């Protein structure tokens, strides 16, 4: 299942994401993963959450990102939650391709794994294939 936290820069998306990560870590009977660009979340996240710096994996587009998430899910059957901060900074600003990536990830994650993205864009600027994940 895909969830999207959208809003303009400075609107508090990362704070909402951090709170959601903490809630998932407390409630999860499996593993929680947080993907970030750089190390901005390192001091805010509990040690039980697996932090991944996406820069280490050279992800540059939406197809690679979908494959990366699918790889996490394939290698960890106990993964209950994946959080990805700043998808537009990671893979680019092509809003048509992001909707297709969400569809791919939704198909492989099913209902058992929650994948949450933050996107720095006003909700009114998002395409319909993205808005369905709000």
CA dist., res. 13 & res. 19, Å (int):
10
User: b/e for 38-69, b at 16 or more Cβ within 10 A?
Assistant: eeebeeebeeebeeeebeeeebeebebbbbbb
Q: What is the pLDDT of residue 110?
A: 85
**pTM over the 0.75 mark:** yes
State how many domains the chain has.
1
Model confidence at 27: pLDDT above 90: yes
CATH number at residue 83: 3.40.50.300
Name 93's Cβ contacts closer than 8 Å, sequence gap at least 6.
Answer: none
Q: What is the pLDDT of residue 61?
A: 95
Instruction: Extract the tokens encoding 15.
Output: 């704070």
pLDDT band at 73 (very low <50, low <70, confident <90, very high): very high
Q: What is the pLDDT of residue 39?
A: 82
Q: Which domain holds residue 11?
A: 2-131
Name 10's Cβ contacts closer than 8 Å, sequence gap at least 6.
Answer: none
Instruction: Extract the tokens encoding 61.
Output: 């587009």
Model confidence at 120: pLDDT above 90: yes
Instruction: Extract the tokens encoding 88.
Output: 């537009």
pLDDT band at 50 (very low <50, low <70, confident <90, very high): very high
* Chain mean pLDDT for the chain: 93
Q: What is the pLDDT of residue 99?
A: 93
Model confidence at 40: pLDDT above 90: no
């Amino acid at each position: 299942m895909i969830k999207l936290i959208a809003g303009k820069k400075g609107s508090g998306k990362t704070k909402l994401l951090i709170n959601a990560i903490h809630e998932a870590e407390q409630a999860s009977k499996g593993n929680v993963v947080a993907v970030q660009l750089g190390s901005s979340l390192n001091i805010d996240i509990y040690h039980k959450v697996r932090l991944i710096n996406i820069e280490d994996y050279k992800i540059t587009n939406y197809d690679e990102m979908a494959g990366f998430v699918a790889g996490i899910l394939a290698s960890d059957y106990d993964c209950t939650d994946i959080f990805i901060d700043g998808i537009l900074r990671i893979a680019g600003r092509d809003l048509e391709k992001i909707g297709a990536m969400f569809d791919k990830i939704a198909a492989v994650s099913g209902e058992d794994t929650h994948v949450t993205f933050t996107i720095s864009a006003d909700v009114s600027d998002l395409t319909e294939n993205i808005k369905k994940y709000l």
